[in-house]
Structure 1
Amino acid sequence: MSISLPRSRLSDPDAGLLPVIWTVSVSRLTGLLGDVIPEFDRRARIVPINLGFEEAVDVIGQRLRREHCDVVIAGGSNAAYLRSRLEVPLVPIQANGFDLMEALARARRIAPRIGLVTHATDVPTFGSFQHSFGLDIEHRRFVTREDARDCIADLRANGIEVIVGTGMAIDHAEQVGLPGVLLYSADSVRQAFEHALELTQTLARSGAPSPRRRTPARPRDTDHALLGDSAAMQQVRERIALYAPYDSTVLITGATGTGKELVARQLHAASGRRGRFVALNCGAISESLLEAELFGYNEGAFTGARRGGRVGLVEAAEGGTLFLDEIGELPLPLQTRLLRVLEEREVLRVGATEPTAVDVRVVAATLQTLETLVDAQRFRRDLYYRLAALRIALPTLHERHEDVPLLVAHFFRQLADTDAPLSVEALARLREYPWPGNVRELRNMVDRLRIHWPPERGTLSAATMLAWLPELDAAGRAGAAVPARAPPAAGADSLPTLLARFDGNRARLAAELGISRTTLWRRLREAGLG
């Protein structure tokens, strides 16, 4: 265990006036953080904690009882693990497209056959990136250490010669004799520090409670407004205000990027519930791991079970809200267990004989049509009715295009602390775009613009904007106002045909179907194709 405090801060009388940032890392990322930390040493008191997962949670919990921390920075699987387990805000280190291109270029100089291994939350746009550039690269996603090790073994068995990925992935690769290239760059680490500093300023302005007082910090509940003046968004806000005070379950439906988790957080913030908001993506974790993650386990429940057992996310949300994203991906056996939680208000840990009473409000979200899954016998009808007691349907951004100027202005203020420098014609082009990625896509475009066009350059014309946002022009030429085609049906009878169409490439098939590789593997197994 290595926990150190920068020497320059130990003797600095003004150190207590600076925001306090703790960095949590293991493996290669620790070295990269060490290279960047001196650049921010005068703007924050930075404490490196070179631990991961359970050890990091334990140490941070102990230290928070006697020390102050404003925000935590972590990357990859470590960040995903810590996010719902800490009482302080967390800023993830995220690789961007430039990081990916640079890492792939370095890997190509080592060997021609490249494997990309990332955590489930990293590089979400790689599929479209790979398709656009015609790259033949095997991509694997992991959630746990064991997943990462299995991904590396699978790639090595398939002839992959070099691995691009997170620090954990590279460690596993080098253990089996494969060279590795770290996905993150110094710039992505710098951006995480900048975001962390912005977050501490926002918390100070909003008067949010400090973790030093041991009050759970919930900046995302209070700082992120649900924006839009359209009639559709006014109706959504009215539903949130109406439903928030009740304990009934809520089902949020909407396309990807429409803000389903934001609505869930708004429901929790307005509910008056004193517990935590705990979120879980049901499609990002394999079935065997998901059971323990959601319901917890007792000591000795299975080989490798942690001493003393472990509290699951249902219990972690005691007195608060449990948000289950992509609820349609929840395996059938776990649907039965979730139904018991909803009906009996109790949870049974793996390996336990006595249930534990819980006070949890469940909010679920899906981009799938659950009624179709019920008809296909992939989702329990009784659970569906229980989850859909109250419903909120989110409109696509294309359906509320009049909100685009307001959102553009908000994201420029949030990301660049400046007014939107767009001309009237540029805003008109943005309103005309069909926004297949919805609000998330708009935010990413604004992030790109504020980097390429700083405020001192004046008003941004439509023609110049298209140079940085070529997808707007491409959409216009292709008549993109027509809704994108739906993914192919995923019934068991069609799976052999779909597999053949993609030459047996399961990663491409999962991306086409819009489901995780774990879900595809389960469906193939159910169809006798596993």
Structure 2
Amino acid sequence: MSISLPRHRSRLSDPEAGQLPVIWTVSVSRLTGLLGDVIPEFDRRARIVPINLGFEEAVDVIGQRLRREHCDVVIAGGSNAAYLRSRLEVPLVPIQANGFDLMEALARARRIAPRIGLVTHATDVPTFGSFQHSFGLDIEHRRFVTREDARDCIADMRANGIEVIVGTGMAIDHAEQVGLPGVLLYSADSVRQAFEHALELTQTLARSGASSLRRRAPPKRRDADHALLGDSAAMQQVREHIALYAPYDSTVLITGATGTGKELVARQLHSASGRRGRFVALNCGAISESLLEAELFGYNEGAFTGARRGGRVGLVEAADGGTLFLDEIGELPLPLQTRLLRVLEEREVLRVGATEPTPVDVRVVAATLQTLESLVDTQRFRRDLYYRLAALRIALPMLHERREDVPLLVSHFFRQLAGTDAPLSAEALARLRDYPWPGNVRELRNMVDRLRIHWQQQPGELSLPQMLHWLPELHAVHTVPASRATTPPGALTAATAARPDADALQQLLADCGGNREQACAQLGVSRTTLWRWLREATPG
């Protein structure tokens, strides 16, 4: 089958900037005509390219086109969608029949003949038992996975006296080949819903920072940007764990203090996993509980007052086929912990206001600077979810525990920010190596950024007096107490340490020069927890 498609160069789709998102529809048989009827309704909101192919042919053509063109989301239905989902490097939104579609299709089929066969793909099975019983319909339902399964289902139904087939486009094709009339399960409304979800998906991923949805960087460049640097034994062990765990779908729990690079580890796990979907990140402590539920799980139209028309795709669905990174997982509210556990165990997500779950293939990587065990003991975190998340674990060291990596990191950040090697004297580099780094690698990078800005105004070798003038916090070099040095990453938490009073918090902030990152590191709590403590400690 040949197709004629307009050629266009890859570009960044940004609806907020006035550039339309690019949607490719993939279909065969009856669904192609239905898509053609609906596409004109959305051509002002998206750039829509029909691809009238299926399965292997569609994968080959899409793969070739993605090398020279850009696509934000693919829309497909039934077994075609199930086949493409794990084989494409772009997100896929399936066309899904709802209960009204089913009732309408069965009513049309009943006008043709009394004995009805319903043939659907295993991932597209609407609930119809009560409807069948209420209206006394004689319906035989079969599910298929492969094209051969569908053909066998139709042949068996025909042999058993079924007179009309309701189903996906493939099922109808097979039915008509053996002389049975067919009624398409999907409706124009289900196609419209898929387009709305596809448009929402582009916006959701843009908000989450998953810019790779719109433009994928070459793999080598992406890996370099997200490299884990350090030759210390501790970092060698981290890299070994990443290489060992990446190919598996098991959840991973990353522990470590703020600024140690937990998201970098999560990205490395995703890059090395071979998963074709997106890396989607969410900070569980940065959003209120009321908004977090909709952001994470999505919602259906009319789920609550103010819910947007067409509903909204959640980040769990947006990460389908890829990796969902949940930072500060200890801040996830208990009611949402229950819902996340269901996603992990059932591999499906139930949107707010929905009655039917959506199957998802997503790997969850969680991160925490708290000890989840202590939160479990105080009943602030579900024990079953903790064990599910901690199937595999990676602990990140504090920077002061791998001081030998400081010169390498300084050199890397200076080249990254200034485009040249770090011009530091031996004494200046030694002072950086001896600094306790309460903010870890993030603090180091921020200091190097400040250093290069001053250095660019006064080029030349950076002496120790110059560096101390530009980085006055280095005057506070001291040895990390043994009790802190031997504490596992993230062991000091809001749950295990006594909460400081208002005066103690203010004094700690003053001692840290107002640096909240440094204060968080010393307290062993998240930025959200510190912010909440400070807010509660402030009258009015």
Category of TM-score, reference length = shorter chain: 0.5 to 0.7
Paired position in structure 1 for 2:396: 394
CA distance in 2, matches of 1:59, 1:328: 43
Alignment partner, residue 516 of structure 1: 528
Q: Which residue, out of 337, 348, 351, partners 2:339? A: 337
Say if 1:339 and 1:440 are closer, same or farther in 2 by CA, change over 3 A. Answer: same
Identity across aligned pairs (percent)? 72
Pairs within 5 Å for 1:186-265: 208=218, 220-265=222-267
Q: 1:461 to 1:24 in 2, by over 3 A?
A: farther
Classify 1:446/1:375 alpha carbon distance in 2 versus 1 (closer, same or farther; 3 Å): same
Q: Is residue 84 from structure 1 mapped to residue 206 from structure 2 by the alignment?
A: no
The answer to whether the Cα contact below 8 Å between 1:421 and 1:458 also exists between their aligned partners in 2 is yes
1:240–1:80 distance in 2 versus 1, CA, 3 Å? same
- 1:371-386 alignment to 2 at 5 Å? 371-386=373-388
Residue in 1 aligned with 2:406? 404
| 1:62 pairs with 2:46 | yes
Pair 1:234–1:61, CA change in 2 (3 A):
farther
Partner of 1:358: 360
| Structure 1 alignment gaps of length 5 or more | 1-15, 26-47, 52-57, 70-76, 91-202, 210-217, 525-529
| Mapped contact 2:205–2:213 kept (Cα < 8 A) | no
1:219-239: per-residue Cα shift (whole Å, max 9, x none)? 645532111000100000000
Q: For residues 142-165 of structure 1, give each alpha carbon's deviation from its aligned partner in whole angstroms, at most 9, with x where no partner exists.
A: xxxxxxxxxxxxxxxxxxxxxxxx
Deviation, 1:454, is 2.3
How far off is 1:274 after superposition?
0.1
User: Where do 5+ consecutive residues of structure 2 fail to align?
Assistant: 1-7, 21-41, 50-67, 72-202, 507-515
Q: Distance in 2 between matches of 1:421 and 1:451?
A: 13
Contact 2:232 2:405 in 1 (8 A): yes
Give the distance between the partners of 1:255 and 1:490, measured in 2 at CA: 13
What is aligned with 1:423?
Answer: 425
- How far apart are the structure 2 equivalents of 1:375 and 1:310? 36
Per the normalisation by structure 1, the TM-score is: 0.57
Q: Distance in 1 between matches of 2:354 and 2:298?
A: 10
CA deviations 1:67-119 (Å, max 9, x no partner) are: 979xxxxxxx99982523662469xxxxxxxxxxxxxxxxxxxxxxxxxxxxx
64 and 281 in structure 1: CA distance in 2 versus 1, 3 angstrom threshold: farther
Taking only aligned residues, the RMSD between alpha carbons, in angstroms, comes to: 4.3
Q: Residues 449 and 494 from structure 1, CA distance in 2 versus in 1: closer, same or farther, beyond 3 angstroms?
A: closer
Check if 1:288 corresponds to 2:301: no
Partner residue of 2:327 out of 322, 325, 328? 325
User: Structure 1 CA distance, aligned partners of 2:256 and 2:347?
Assistant: 28
Question: Within 1, Cα distance between the matches of 2:480 and 2:497?
Answer: 32
In structure 2, what is the Cα distance between the partners aligned to 1:344 and 1:287?
Answer: 23
* SS of match in other structure, 2:326: strand
1:489 and 1:341 map into 2 onto residues whose CA distance is: 27
Q: Secondary structure at the match of 1:431?
A: helix
Q: Could you say if the C-alpha distance between residues 489 and 433 of structure 1 is closer, same or farther in structure 2, counting changes exceeding 3 Å?
A: closer
The alignment covers a number of residue pairs equal to 344
**TM-score normalised over the length of structure 2:** 0.56
Shift of 1:61: 8.7
Q: Is the 8 A contact 2:374 2:495 kept in 1?
A: no
Distance in 2 (alpha carbons) for counterparts of 1:60 and 1:420? 51
SS of equivalent to 1:391: strand
Give 1:502 shift: 6.9
Q: Give 1:303's aligned residue.
A: 305
Partners of 2:276 and 2:439 in 1: CA distance: 34
Supply the distance in 2 between the matched residues of 1:89 and 1:429 (Cα, whole angstroms). 41
- State whether residues 299 and 351 of structure 2, in contact with CA within 8 Å, keep that contact through their aligned partners in structure 1: yes
Q: Which residue is 2:442 aligned to?
A: 440
